[in-house]
Each structure stands twice: as C-alpha cells, then as structure tokens.
Structure 1
Amino acid sequence: MLKQSLQLKLSQKLSPQQIQLMKLIQLPTLAFEQRLKEELIENPALESGKEDDYSAEEDNYGDDYDDYDNDRIEAEDINIDEYLSDDETPEYKLQTNNYSKDDDDYEAPIIAFESFHQDLINQLNTFILTDEHRAIAEFLVGSVDDMGYIRRDIQDIVDDLAFTQGIYTDEKTVGKILNIVHELEPSGVGARDLKECLLLQLRHKTPTDAVDLAKDIIENQFDAFTKKHYDKLLQKYGVTREQLRNAIDEIEKLNPKPGSAYIGNTRIVEHITPDFIIKISDGEIELSLNGRNAPELHISKDYQEMLQSYKESSKSNSAQKDAVQFIKQKLDGAKWFIDAIKQRQETLYVTMQAIIEYQYDYFISGDETKLRPMILKDIADRIGLDISTVSRVANSKYVDTPYGTFLIKNFFSEAMVNDQGEEVSTIEIKKILETIIADEDKAKPYPDDKLAELLKEKGYPIARRTVAKYREQLDIPVARMRKRI
C-alpha cells in the first residue's frame, strides 16, 4: 500500500562558495598560483595588479543590479563580444608574475634529457658487433629496468627474441652478449641480482687486497655478509678486523641500484616553496605570509561601467538580457574570488600564528626536544575554526624557519606521560631515541629491549614494541643491520 507523508528534516550543507574556499585553503603556494592564473583566464571581470582609480567603496554594482527587474529591462545594444574580443591583451598576460615585487622572479631553463636506455644504446655503438648480435644487445638493454637490473631468465629472453624479433639463438650466445652489456656504464648495469651487481662493480675496481677480499666475500660468503656474521668471516679468511673492515668499506661504497645513479641526474627536482616565513629578531618571533599568497586583485572597471551603462539605457531585448546576466555573473564571481583570497590569507595566518604561540619554546630555540604535544583540536580550539580546516593548512603547507624548512604537520604529535607524570611529545622521545642509537657502539648495537630500558632510565617508560615502531618511523634498521665490524 502506498502512503504519502510529510517529514521535516534539518541538515547542514556546504555552499559551493564554502567548498571552493576549503579547496583554496588546502592549496600550497605553487598550486595556489596556478589556480589564480586559471581564474584570471576564466573570468575576464577579474584583474591583477594595482588600479589607481579604483577603491572598494566604488564597488556598488551588486546593489545596482538588485534593483533591476527582468520585466522592464531598459538597455541599448550591448554587444558582449566587444568586451571579450582578442583585440586587447588582458593585463595578467603583460605581467611577469602575480606575486609580490619583493620576491625574486625566476624562470627555470628548459633542459632536454637523454633517457637511461638511450644512453646505453649509444654506448653499444662503440662495440663492433654483427647485425644479429647488435639486435640481441639492444633487446637486452631494453630489458634493463630503471634500477639497472635485468630481472629475467636467459631462457625467457631467448624465447622472446624468437617470438617477437624473429631472432633464433641460444642461451650461450645471449650470455655472451650479456657480458658485453655488463661492460656498459654505470658499472653493474644489466645484473640479474644484487650479488652479480656488486661483483660487476668490484671487477671494475683497481685490484687491491681489500678489493680482492671483497670480491671473494661477495662471491663465496654473500649470505654471511648480508647477515653481518663478521665473526664467521674472520674465522673463514683468517684476517684481522681491520682487513675485514677495509673489505666491507669497499663493498659499502658500491651502488646496489646502478640505474638510479643515471635517473637521479635527469629527474627534475621539485623545490619546496615555503608558505610562511619565520624570523627571529631581538628575541621576538616574526611571522609573515609568502608574498605569492597575497596577490593584488581587483574587479574590472570596464565590466562595472558596462553594467552601469545598462542601467542608464532605455532599450531592451532578449540578447541584452543574456549579456547583462553574463556580466553580473562574472562580476559576482570576481568579487567572491577576491573575498575568498582574503579569507584564505587570514585563515593561513591565524592558524600558523596559533601554532607558533603553542610551540613558542621550540621556535625561539630550535630545540626539537622542546616541542609540546599538539593535536589538531588544540589549534582549532584556539582560533575557533573546524579541525578539518586546520588539517588542510597543516597537511600541505611549509614554513621556513631559521632552523630549516618544515612541513607544518610535523609539529603535531601525540602525548605520552613520563615517569614524573608530565605529558611529553612523541617527537621528543623519537629525538632522544635517535640520539641514543647515534651514540651506541656500532660493534654491539642496542636491541629494541635495551633501547626501551635506556629510555626508561631517562624517564620515558615505553614498551619495546613502541620503541620498534618509533625506530621504524625514523627509518632506523634493527640492531643486526646496524652492526659494524
């Protein structure tokens, strides 16, 4: 049986303007600049730079338009195409940038890079090979991954050569050509596993006692070496600790990922642009927002004059109504965008200022052990904003301090209670843990249970599994892997 009923329901929804504002807040400086350029292109009623004759008090277009009645449009012919033509170049295209004049104007040079595999192919041209052998060599180079390895069986390569290239050969021939690939730079390229990669690099080194011992260790005692069973190696080779240490030093100088050495030189490095700048002057902390986050924007006077001319006109038609509606829409969009930018600036500033006040001891000294436990709610309560807003600011913004440039979210941490009942930051505990490990005897590194015991002696009673978690977060390996001869 169908039944109709009326039900009242109260719900809260974000307006499109609020959603856009949240998106603007979470954008870092470089992404914000790109968003600003897009808006300037999409909205011709929005202009950047200073306008001498314009002031906010003259912005009365909204009130004027509200008085208009669609039933009594009085307008003369307004050709909207005249205002959107390409005859005049928009002002934003004539400016070198959209940020503060105090900032450096920098253009990155355009660099053309040669790929890793193309470089290997070019090296093959220095070898005298038959057409068939060259085709096999190029196929092998094409099988090299970005780390410099060929992670395929020789038999699989033989089969692929037959099916895809029409080259019928055998494993012995492919192995012979693979030895030629092993002669290419960077040393170790074309290896099928880590052991072969290290051996190839050692064979390219000038022979010395340490290098010869290193080659023997990798070739015949690779498992003992990876597990750092140094006593077993000393007994096996009958050498002194210093001789073994020299051999291991030779191995540690090798690159386990030879391809990355080439890729690292061609990869474009993304530089961090700080959103905030902190300076210490006469014992006082000075906070400033990156000038790129405070662009000079204003509403086009041409568009305001168009709307005013419409008001004073005496003719109307359907096309003119559409034109005026378009103008009003663009003016409203420009005004809202300018207001949103101002609100974004204010939100960023008050949030960072609250973080500075909360972590004052750290920012004035730079000592990480003075970082207080701080969660998003602590800052949200201080500035009267939602936790999600603080999260948007913290997760994607960087601050330049006298001690380095940091991601803001790194200043947030949970609290733990020490043996005196005081709340301390987990960052402080991690810093002390890092110091303990740095000062340990590398011949006998501390296991996790010993680290937990040492932290307890310093007044931080935490469990061994918590120590293991913090150690992993610091990218510090287990005791066995930290051991040195």
Structure 2
Amino acid sequence: MQGLSIKLSQQQKLSPQQIQLIKLLQIPTAELAARVEEELEQNPALEEGVDSERFEEEGERETVEDLEREELEIGDYLQDDYAGYKMAGDSYDPNEEIRERPMATVPSAEEFLLMQIGFVVSGEREQLIAEQIIGSLEDDGYLRRNIESIVNDLAFTVGFETDYAEVEAVLMKVQQLDPAGIGARDLQECLSLQLHRHSVGEEGAHALAIQLIDTYFDDFSKRHYAALQQKLGVDEAALKQAIAVITRLNPKPGGTEAGEVAQFLQPDFIVTQVDGKLDIKLNGKNAPELRVSKSFQEMLQTYEKGNKQQKDIKEAVTFIKHKLDAASWFIQAIQQRQGTLMKTMESIVTKQYDFFLTGDDARLRPLKMKEIAADIAMDISTVSRVVSAKSVQSDFGMFPLKYFFSEGITHESGEDFSTREVKNILREIIAGEPHDAPYSDEDLEGILSERGFIVKRRTVAKYREQLGIAVARLRREL
C-alpha cells in the first residue's frame, strides 16, 4: 500500500565560506603561497598588497570616462574560465629583479632507471617490458607486483602479448641496473643481489655472507646465531665479520637515488626566548597581504549606473559582484586562519611553557587536543585541523605540533608523566640491556614498575613497536 507522509528534519550544512576556512586551516605554510596564487589567478578582483588609499595619494584615480576608454571588455570575463584576465606576471621585464633561487634539475628515480635500460636490454620487446617493470616499482625500489599481473597489464593496456618466462628474464636484466638491489621482490633477494654485485673485499667474510643470505636467511633473520655457527662450521669471530658485511648493505635501494630531493621544511610558527619570556610569531608567509581591487569596485559603480535591464549590463554587474564577494570572503578567511592559528599556538605554548624554555623532553606534560579546544573555546576538530601538518621553530629545533600532544601516565608518586617521556625511559633501558640476553616485554614491565611506572605488558609492547624496536629475540647479538 502506497501513501504520502511528511517528515520534518534538521540538517546542519556548512556554508561555502566555512568550507573555505576549514580548507585553509589545514594548509601548512609551505602550501599556502600556492593556494593564494591560485586564488589570485582565478579572481581578478583580488590583489596582493596592503589596502590603502594610494589612488588618492598618487592622483591616479581614474574617472568614469577613463574606465570606459580602458581596453578592458567585461565580455572577456564572461567567457569560459574567464580566460581574458591578464595576470601581472604574463609579461617579462628585463629590469625586474629575479628573487627566486634556482634549483638544480635532477632526474627522478624512475627516470634514472629508464636512462640505463638501453645498456641491458635488446630489442623493442624487452624495452617495453623493462619500462613496465620499472613503472611497477615501489618507492623503496622493490617489485611487489607479481609477474603474472605485469603480463596481464601489458596485455590489457597496450595489447602486448608476453608470458611469465619472458618477463622474468627481463626482470633479471632490470636487476642489473644501479643502484644494486633494485627490482628485488623481497628483502632476501635485495641483499643477495647486492652481495653478488659487490666486489669481494674479504673473500671469506663475503662468501660467508652470501651463504647466510642465500641458504640460511630464515635462521639469520631470526638471529639464531648458535645454530648458524653449528650449520656453517664457523667460529663467533667469522660469523661477526659476515654479519658486518650484510649490515653495510642497503635494504631500501630505491630510497637513496639521485632523483630524491630533500623536502624543504618551512615552520608555521616561530617561538623564541626574549629576556626570559617566550615570543610567538606566525611565519611571515602565513600572513599574505591581500586587498580587494579598487578598479573592480569602481567598475561596479560604473556599470550600476547603466541600464540594468540590458542583458549585458546585468551579467556584468552580477559577475563583478560575485568576484568582489569572493575576494572579500577569501581575505576574511585568511585573517580568520591567522587568528585561529595564533590562538591555538599560544595555548600550546602556555601548556608546554617549560619545554619551550628548556628544550627538555622531560618537561613535556601530558596534553590532549580537547584541552586546547576548551582553552580557546573552539571545537576539537578545528584544533585537529590547525595541528595537522604544522610545525614550530623553537630555540631547540623544529617540531611538528603533534609532538606536544600525548597521553599521560601517573607515577606512583602521583606526578603525571607524558607517554613520550615514558618511551624515552624505555628506550634508555633497552639501550643498556645485555646484548646477549635482551629484556623481554615482561622484563621491561617489571623494570618500569620498579621505577614507579605501572605499565601493562601489552602497553610496553605497543610503546616498543612505536619506537621501532624489535622483540627481544631479534635484538640479541653475539
């Protein structure tokens, strides 16, 4: 049976301006300039510079007649994507000072490999397969896509028919490229490729290292050193030399290519000590100077005086108003972003004041985002967006804002310690453990308990994993 019913419901929706502010809050300083430049290109009513009455001061105010004579047709703006807008940077001025520092152009890791394949493959078939293999490599240089999938990729994408044996044969040739170990399908193959490629220095140790990787990799990865000595018939000194050869190899050959350029870190905040007090500043690039175009405002006044019943005049007025509103909203969003960033950073510095004065991790107190949200009277989601991908430059180095947030653990004395400090204590305990008998997680739980920190074994295991420290049996050394 069908029927009609009326149902009332409330829905909360964000305005375009709120969405714009949210997106700007998430952008770090390094990306903000690009976002502002994008807005400047899209909106001719937005300009860089301080809003001032320079038109009156310089006597350059244009009359209505000047505007009408100006080679500026509003119809150009009404085309698709407003392509008629001419940017200030469209023309080249030979007298203009070049402020940008040139950067060296280097090939990417993939380009570096493609430059080499001509030396190892023969014919177009192998060239095409090699390019497909190189394109399938991951950032660390490993080939984790199986050969059957590469065969299918070639068949479906370029209509190239091949088989497992041919692709594998070309893969062997790709694995001859630099850096050594590239194109390996797992760690064992990666280390083996490097060992077989490298010239033999100490023949005994190098040959033993190859045997460890090729034949006894499982025992080696699990550090069953006593069993390895027995199987190989070598003493402890010989085994140590072979292990030293292996530890000099690169487990991630794709991560050290010439094409990799270190990312330039740009802090969002700068906190410095001035006369024993902390001074908080936004990075200058966090606060670009923007203004609404005076010429666009005057253009609106000119067109509003015209016959609004004419279609062209009506479209022009609508367009100009839209661009002026968008420019004003964007400027307000940038200003709100600056205010929200500063309020959040000031609250963080207040909570972690001792750390910013001393740089001592032990002075970091447990802190949650909801504390900052309550302090600045904003939603926790806003704080999360501010903290995301942001960093601060202090007198003791640069830190991501997330560095200052951690859960707390109560010492038996009643004092609260941040989990980061407990992790540092855990790292120190493990660093001082006997190499031949490393502490298990249960042992670490007991040692922390003796120091007054009541931490469960599973929590110890979680902290150890977060510190990138292996389990006890993998930490054992000869």
The two structures share one fold, judged by TM-score above 0.5: yes
1:305-345 superposed Cα distances (whole Å, 9 cap, x missing partner): 2234456x475533323322332232222222222211111
Give the drift of 1:13: 4.2
Structure 1 counterpart SS, 2:194: helix
The partner residue of 1:122 within 114, 118, 122 is 118
Distance verdict in 2 for CA 1:281–1:220, change over 3 Å: same
Contact 1:77 1:316 survives alignment (8 Å): no
Does 2:260 correspond to 1:251?
no
What's 1:38 paired with? 38
Q: How does 1:464-483 map to 2 (within 5 A)?
A: 464-483=457-476
TM-score by length of 1: 0.78
What's 1:422 paired with? 415
What's 1:81 paired with? 74
Give the drift of 1:11: 6.0
What's 1:318 paired with? 310
Give the drift of 1:137: 8.5
Does 2:208 correspond to 1:210?
no
Partner amino acid, structure 1, of 2:447: L
TM-score by length of 2: 0.79
The partner residue of 1:271 within 264, 272, 280 is 264
Distance verdict in 2 for CA 1:335–1:188, change over 3 Å: closer
Greater relative CO, 1 or 2 (CA 8 Å, sep 6+): 1
Structure 1 counterpart SS, 2:388: helix
What's 1:368 paired with? 361
Q: Which has the larger radius of gyration?
A: 1
Give the drift of 1:30: 2.9
Give the drift of 1:17: 1.8
Q: How does 1:99-248 map to 2 (within 5 A)?
A: 105-113=100-108, 115-124=111-120, 139=129, 143=133, 146=137, 147-148=141-142, 183-189=176-182, 194-203=187-196, 204-208=198-202, 209-248=204-243
Distance verdict in 2 for CA 1:30–1:302, change over 3 Å: same
Distance verdict in 2 for CA 1:51–1:22, change over 3 Å: closer
The partner residue of 2:393 within 400, 410, 417 is 400
Does 2:47 correspond to 1:47?
yes
CA distance in 1, matches of 2:339, 2:173: 63
1:172-230 superposed Cα distances (whole Å, 9 cap, x missing partner): x9999877666543334565654444334323332422212222333433222111011
Distance verdict in 2 for CA 1:379–1:189, change over 3 Å: closer
CA distance in 2, matches of 1:174, 1:354: 59
What's 2:370 paired with? 377
Structure 1 counterpart SS, 2:331: helix
Give the drift of 1:139: 4.3
Query: How big is the alpha-carbon RMSD for the aligned residues of Structure 1 and Structure 2?
Result: 4.0
CA distance in 2, matches of 1:178, 1:80: 60
CA distance in 1, matches of 2:407, 2:144: 45
Distance verdict in 2 for CA 1:112–1:342, change over 3 Å: same
Contact 1:28 1:275 survives alignment (8 Å): yes
Contact 1:189 1:197 survives alignment (8 Å): yes
Distance verdict in 2 for CA 1:478–1:347, change over 3 Å: same
Identical counterparts, % of pairs: 41
1:223-272 superposed Cα distances (whole Å, 9 cap, x missing partner): 221110112223344544333211101011122344x156x332344333
Distance verdict in 2 for CA 1:143–1:381, change over 3 Å: closer
Greater CA drift, 353-362 or 85-94: 85-94
Does 2:23 correspond to 1:23?
yes
Give the drift of 1:32: 2.2
Contact 1:374 1:415 survives alignment (8 Å): yes
Distance verdict in 2 for CA 1:14–1:202, change over 3 Å: closer
Distance verdict in 2 for CA 1:182–1:291, change over 3 Å: closer
Greater CA drift, 314-323 or 417-426: 314-323
What's 1:297 paired with? 290
1:349-397 superposed Cα distances (whole Å, 9 cap, x missing partner): 1110110010011111111222111111111111121211111101221
1:263-312 superposed Cα distances (whole Å, 9 cap, x missing partner): x332344333211112223322221111111111111111222234456x
Contact 1:137 1:181 survives alignment (8 Å): no
Give the drift of 1:41: 1.8
Segments of 5+ residues of structure 1 without an aligned counterpart are: 56-75
CA distance in 2, matches of 1:167, 1:328: 61
Segments of 5+ residues of structure 2 without an aligned counterpart are: 56-67
Partner amino acid, structure 2, of 1:206: V
Give the drift of 1:120: 4.0
Distance verdict in 2 for CA 1:374–1:94, change over 3 Å: farther
Distance verdict in 2 for CA 1:321–1:175, change over 3 Å: closer
Distance verdict in 2 for CA 1:199–1:381, change over 3 Å: closer
Contact 2:406 2:420 survives alignment (8 Å): yes
Contact 1:214 1:248 survives alignment (8 Å): yes
Contact 2:133 2:171 survives alignment (8 Å): no
CA distance in 2, matches of 1:218, 1:291: 53
